Amino acid sequence: MNLAHKLCAFFILCFALNSQAAVWVDNQSWSLQYEDEYSQWMQSSKVHEKLFSDPSSPYFGVSTDCADTAYALRAIFAFEHLLPFAIYSPSGSRSGTGSLNNRQSNWDNLPTNKERLIAMINEIGDSVGTENLAYFDTFPVAIKSINPGTVFMYKIKARFKKFIRHTYNITGINPVGTFEVIYSTQANKKKGLPLIKRNDKEFDNAPTDPWGFRKFRWPELLGRDLSTIPKELGPSTEQYSLVATLGPVGFFQYVKKTIATSNESTPQKLARLFKSVCTEAQARVDYVNQGLIHLKETDNKCMNYEEFDAYSTPVRDQNLKDLFLKLQSAYNEALAEGVLTTTNSELIHFSEIIFKNQVQANTDLLSACPVNYKVGASLDLANLWKRMSNGSLSSHPNDNVEARWGDKTSVKTKCKSWY
């Protein structure tokens, strides 16, 4: 065979191999050691808000909402460590095993492993969601086994037989038993916005089987009984019986006490909660504005269910209200314990302004946490709490900015509220 024929045969062979290219070739197996490394990786600076949105990131172009983010992070770690990745395929037809996995050649038209990885993750986002993640691809864990890499998921029944679902990825556990989390939303996915990170998250939506604290299954354990999961990973359904016994509030108190490594004083709790209230109040500006921008882009048309689901804020608003109530409870604890004199006097003053209506306006409180909800207009936390507590704020994404923030002169939309 002459050189020309040899080269021709070589290129034909290369083309044939590439035409059946896996996303990546795995030569490692999941183990307890790799699970430890995954947990460490989730805590590292490699997992950050701009992982998918920064053009300089190696994973730029990945598009995720909440469940997609969990799948994406697990797939990226598996890719970087040459581990297998597989999730249950609802169609059951993508491969002989009924899974969507890294060994498939569905994306072999793309030239590099990384491009095929991104394409695989994006197809996962179009194919499955929180239901798949909860029922098939993860397993429930014991409270003492919660660690970075664990996901927390909830499902809430809404109107018209609709449900609200969400997934948080735990990236750290603070000494006092609160969580560092990273996640996304449907609105962020639509606009290609950065992931959302919170450094002091407390959960409020109690687990109901199969929702709650969960970890990823190894590919070979998809569809297998809980007893097949290595005991060291903490497979357990105890969270569901604990909720039934303790109730939602008692359950999360138990979680916090179990995973905490230090006690939190009432003054420390007051400071932490004030910061959390401020963070979420200011974040609401972005959430509302995402809906307002979409409303403008669609000429103020009434939103369908998918749009409403992406841009409405009922759960976020309830979470913010719950944070205010926790802040109020911490203030009342400080009062009852007689530690007001040893607590940051400014925080005590702010709490009295917010919850006792001590003054109508306070420039220091506004300066400490301005909620700049529209051009030339700001709310302090006292006025925001007043509007929240009397039900003036709107979660409906078809309402204008004044209605969303409870201005007295606002007119509410007549568009359908899907839940």
What the block records as the tokens of 44 is 């590292």
Is the pLDDT at 9 greater than 60? The verdict is: no
At residue 18, the pLDDT reads 42
Q: Is the dihedral of CA 358, 363, 368, 373 positive or negative?
A: positive
Is 141 within 8 Å of 213 (Cβ atoms)?
A: yes
At residue 8, the pLDDT reads 43
Mean pLDDT computed over 267-294? 97
Is 160 within 8 Å of 418 (Cβ atoms)?
A: yes
Distance, in Å, from the CA atom of 177 to the CA atom of 181, rounded to the nearest integer, reads: 13
At residue 97, the pLDDT reads 53
Per residue in 48-70, pLDDT tens? Answer: 999 999 999 999 999 999 999 99
Percent of the chain with pLDDT over 90: 84
> Parallel, antiparallel, or unpaired: how do β-strands 377-379 and 371-374 relate?
antiparallel
Helix axes 314-337, 345-356, angle to 10 degrees: 120
Distance from the Cα of residue 122 to its chain's centroid: 17
More confident residue, 245 or 9: 245
Is the pLDDT at 13 greater than 50? The verdict is: no
Is the pLDDT at 1 greater than 60? The verdict is: no
Per residue in 339-369, pLDDT tens? Answer: 777 677 889 989 999 998 755 556 799 999 9
At residue 345, the pLDDT reads 86
At residue 92, the pLDDT reads 54
Is 220 within 8 Å of 124 (Cβ atoms)?
A: no
184 sits in which H/E element = none
Per residue in 248-264, pLDDT tens? Answer: 999 999 999 999 999 99
More confident residue, 60 or 92: 60
Distance from the Cα of residue 310 to its chain's centroid: 14
Whole-Å CA distances, 382 to 52, 171, 219, 279, 378: 37, 32, 51, 15, 12
Is the pLDDT at 11 greater than 60? The verdict is: no
At 150, the pLDDT band (50, 70, 90 cuts) reads: very high
Per residue in 169-202, pLDDT tens? Answer: 999 999 999 999 999 999 999 999 999 999 999 9
Lowest mean pLDDT among 48-52, 63-67, 118-122, 405-409: 405-409
Q: Give residue for tokens 């993640």.
A: 133
Is the pLDDT at 93 greater than 60? The verdict is: no
Can you point out the beta strands (E) in 294-389? 371-374, 377-379
Per residue in 309-337, pLDDT tens? Answer: 999 999 999 999 999 999 999 999 988 88
Is the pLDDT at 289 greater than 50? The verdict is: yes
At residue 303, the pLDDT reads 97
At 160, the pLDDT band (50, 70, 90 cuts) reads: confident
Average pLDDT, the chain: 91
Is the pLDDT at 14 greater than 50? The verdict is: no
At residue 329, the pLDDT reads 96
At 112, the pLDDT band (50, 70, 90 cuts) reads: very high
> Parallel, antiparallel, or unpaired: how do β-strands 179-183 and 163-173 relate?
antiparallel
In the chain, what are the domain boundaries? 14-246, 266-404
Please tell me the total number of residues recorded for the chain in this structure: 419
Query: What are the residues whose beta carbons fall under 8 Å from the beta carbon of 360, sequence distance 6 or more?
Result: none
Is 21 within 8 Å of 116 (Cβ atoms)?
A: yes
At 338, the pLDDT band (50, 70, 90 cuts) reads: confident
DSSP reduced 3-state for 183: strand
More confident residue, 274 or 4: 274
At 128, the pLDDT band (50, 70, 90 cuts) reads: very high
Is the pLDDT at 90 greater than 90? The verdict is: no
At residue 95, the pLDDT reads 44
